[in-house]
Amino acid sequence: MERAKDSFHLRETASFLAEYAALLSGCGATSIRIEKNTSRMARAFGVNFDIFIMPAHVSVSVWDKDRTEAIVAQSKTVACGINFTLNAALSRLSWEVADNHLDLSTASGLFERIRKAKPTGKWEVLILTSLANASFCRLFGGDWMAMLIVFVSTLAGYRLKQIMLEDKRDVRLTFLCASFFSAALSAGGHIFNIGATPEIAVGTSVLYLIPGVPYINSVSDMIYRHYLCAFSRFLDAVVLTACLSIGLCAGVFLLGLKWF
């Protein structure tokens, strides 16, 4: 009876850690953070632990202190997009488990609450992204009119991105279409001679689509020898960069803008 209870505890622990790691991976955490957070909780639960992180799956091995029984659990990486709020909440959960010695049932309840929490409002993200991209325009020497053009083009392009992702469209097609839409709108300043720096408006109108987090994460994974994840994240970022570049070029060619 006692052995069956221990076996059930190991299965539940392995399942929880696998789901936790999969969600943490999906929201943009680096592999080393996933390792540290899950190891921290495993120690608090009183089990031995190992984790194997792949680009699309996470495998967790859990065994008792006597090494008489081991359980392996696997979970598919959750495709929830980059989410720093979720990332931070999951990291705080690992520290709460470790510092307060929470049991598995309490940790699972907190995890479910975090997983079901509403994301940051899409309208707030839309406005803030547009303001940030307009600030990039200013940073690269754009005048106030160019900033206004970039704000409007980012507002329209990012809203198109939100709609397409909500409709479950392919992320690569989404990046291409959003880039094309923003580039075409920002090119209006060049065509109608609005402002003194219309070319900067065109160049910075698609910066909000640059996949900076995957690039940074790929470097982190490479440093900590997670080469498969590093290569996968780098290629994903390169493909998205190519898609936004194609959209930008298509908008420029369609409206007949000169390169030089």
Q: Which helix (H) or strand (E) holds 63?
A: strand 57-63
Single out the residue of 237, 259, 160, 158 nearest to residue 205, CA to CA: 158
pLDDT per residue over 196-254, tens digit each? 888 899 989 999 999 999 999 999 999 999 999 999 999 999 999 999 999 999 988 88
Q: Are 153 and 205 in contact (CB under 8 A)?
A: yes
DSSP assignment of 10-39, as one string? HHHHHHHHHHHHHHHHHTT--HHHHHHHHH
Report the distance separating Cα 50 and Cα 28, nearest Å: 21
Whether 1 has a pLDDT exceeding 50, the answer reads: no
pLDDT value at position 3? 52
* d(C-alpha 137, C-alpha 139), whole Å: 5
**What's the pLDDT tens digit per position in 148-165?**
999 999 999 999 999 999
- Residue in 207, 199, 200 with CA at minimum distance from that of residue 241: 207
Q: Which residues contact 6 (CB under 8 A, 6 or more apart)?
A: 64, 69
Which pLDDT belongs to residue 223? 95
DSSP reduced 3-state for 206: coil
Percent residues over pLDDT 90 in the chain: 73
Joined tokens for residue 86: 């979720």
For the segment 96-125, the average pLDDT, to the nearest whole number, is: 90
User: What DSSP line would sit under 161-180, residue for residue?
Assistant: HHHHHHTT--HHHHHHHHHH
Question: Among 27-36, 95-104, 183-192, 234-243, which stretch is predicted with the lowest mean pLDDT?
Answer: 183-192
CA distance 199 to 120: 33
In single-letter form, the type of residue at position 157 comes to: G
Domain boundaries, given as residue ranges, for the chain: 2-115, 122-254
pTM as predicted: 0.87
pLDDT > 70? residue 77: yes
CA dist., res. 8 & res. 254, Å (int): 62
